[in-house]
Structures are given as structure tokens and as C-alpha cells.
Amino acid sequence: MAAPLHARQLYRFYRSGEEETLALKGVSLAVESGEIVAVTGPSGSGKSTLLACLAGMDDPDGGSVHVAGSRISHQPEPVRARLRSRRIGMLFQNGNLLEHLTVAGNVVVAQRLAGRRAARDPGALLSALGIADRDRAYPSQLSGGELARAGLAVALANTPAVVLADEPTGELDSTTEHRILELLAETAHDGTAVVVASHSPAVSAFAHRTVRLDDGKVCE
């Protein structure tokens, strides 16, 4: 079976004014079901650009990205958005949560967008993440650790084939970071392909494999 996440020879070119940046220079990456891959590298090496291309939030100028057997790159935005809502869980440090909805409301919206209303009881998901008692709280009322867990609940609401996390533990204390990594490990154990971009050595230590970027290229 093909890997749930497959990126081939990604190039991404930015121009702002006179400045030209080649943020990705032929990056390839395949992540298997159940595998956790850490993406590390210095600031500006292309980690966020790579994750944005993998998620179909950004489109590479060259190369291709396939998610769960479907091409997400070089597709019209509605096609990318649909694949994203159905097949990808995205986790970002500051939020994949809608501020005007409660934690439970955020999970339900993510499930409806995925067309999977009955897929998993939101209460059970929040329980598994240890925040069942915060289901009626709004994001602004949550602690950093609770926010991270709520973000993970939203990322997992659509039972994704692929989870993409960009610095998900950046501002968390080490205990909470550890718990979030454990939860990602459980997600992988259930068959999801997980990619985590991070500066944190703890993330590399827990991943099955680390891909190091430098100046838009994978270091061999």
C-alpha cells in the first residue's frame, strides 16, 4: 500500500519586492502509516513552508504531494480544502481553534466539515485527551496545556490519515510537552502518519525518524 503521505521533489519559491527566496529545493518525504517523523532544522530552513505544502495550505512551485492516495498539490483550493478537512489533522501552536466556539463546538465543526458527524463521540475524544471537563470552555479560558490538548482534539476529530504538527509544543512546559507527544504516539499507533516540525530535542527523541532541513534541502 502506498504511504499515506508522499511528497516528491518539492520546490517553493517566494518573491517579495527585490528579494527572492527558494524556501524548498527539491524536498522529498514519504511517511508510512503509524510512523512519526520529526522535521528539524534552523530557523528559516523551510520547516513551516514544507508543512504548509504538505497540508495543501500552500502550493509548491514544483513537485507533488499525495495524501491518502489523492494528489493535494496543484489542485483548486476547494479540492485541497476538502482533502484537508477529510484526511488531514493540523496542529499549530497558536491555534486551529475557532475562538467563538466552545471546545466541544470546535470538535463538532471539524467533524461536520469532514462529513463524519457520527464518527467519534466528541466527549470520548476529549476524555481520551484528559479535557472532558473543559468541553464547554472557550479557547480564551484555557491554559496553555489545555489549549494544546483541545487543538489536538480538533486535529483528530476527522480521524485523519495524516497529522501535521508545526511546533505544537513550542511554549509548553516539559510535562505537558511529554503528554502531547504521548498522545501523538497513540495516534500513530492507531495507524496515522504523523509529521512534527520542531526545534525541540524532545520531539526528535520521540520520533521514529528525523528529517533535518538546512536551507531548503534535506541534509543527508
Ligand X SMILES: Nc1ncnc2c1ncn2[C@@H]1O[C@H](COP(=O)(O)OP(=O)(O)OP(=O)(O)O)[C@@H](O)[C@H]1O
Q: Answer yes or no whether residue 103 interacts with ligand X by CB under 6 A.
A: no
Closest to 126 (Cα-Cα) out of 145, 143, 91, 150: 150
Q: What is the largest CA-CA distance in the chain?
A: 52
The only residue of 27, 36, 46, 151 in contact with ligand X, by rule CB under 6 A: 46
Minimal distance in Å, beta carbon 19 to ligand X? 7
Partners of 91 in beta bridges: 165
Q: Which is nearer to ligand X, 44 or 62 (CB)?
A: 44
The only residue of 23, 55, 162, 193 in contact with ligand X, by rule CB under 6 A: 23
Q: Answer yes or no whether residue 85 interacts with ligand X by CB under 6 A.
A: no
Contact stretch for ligand X (CB under 6 A) within 38-46, 83-91, 103-111, 154-162: 38-46
Q: Per-residue string for binding with ligand X, 47-76, x by CB under 6 A?
A: xxx---------------------------
Query: What b/e sequence results for 156-194 when a residue is b if at least 16 CB atoms lie within 10 Å of its CB, and e otherwise?
Result: bbbbbbbbbbbbbbeebeeebbebbbebbeebbeeebbb
Measured CA to CA, the distance from residue 192 to residue 179 in angstroms comes to 18
Measured CA to CA, the distance from residue 87 to residue 132 in angstroms comes to 24
Q: Answer yes or no whether residue 175 interacts with ligand X by CB under 6 A.
A: no
Q: Answer yes or no whether residue 160 interacts with ligand X by CB under 6 A.
A: no
Q: Phi and psi for 38 in degrees, rounded to 5?
A: -90, 135
Q: Answer yes or no whether residue 198 interacts with ligand X by CB under 6 A.
A: no
Closest to 148 (Cα-Cα) out of 191, 179, 117, 114: 179
Would you tell me the crossing angle of helices 174-189 and 144-156 to the nearest 10 degrees? Answer: 10
Minimal distance in Å, beta carbon 21 to ligand X? 5
Q: Answer yes or no whether residue 41 interacts with ligand X by CB under 6 A.
A: yes
The only residue of 11, 13, 33, 44 in contact with ligand X, by rule CB under 6 A: 44
Contact stretch for ligand X (CB under 6 A) within 43-51, 102-110, 114-122, 136-144: 43-51
Minimal distance in Å, beta carbon 119 to ligand X? 32
Neighbour count for residue 12 (Cβ, 10 Å): 22
Binding-site ranges for ligand X (CB under 6 A): 14, 16, 21, 23, 41, 43-49
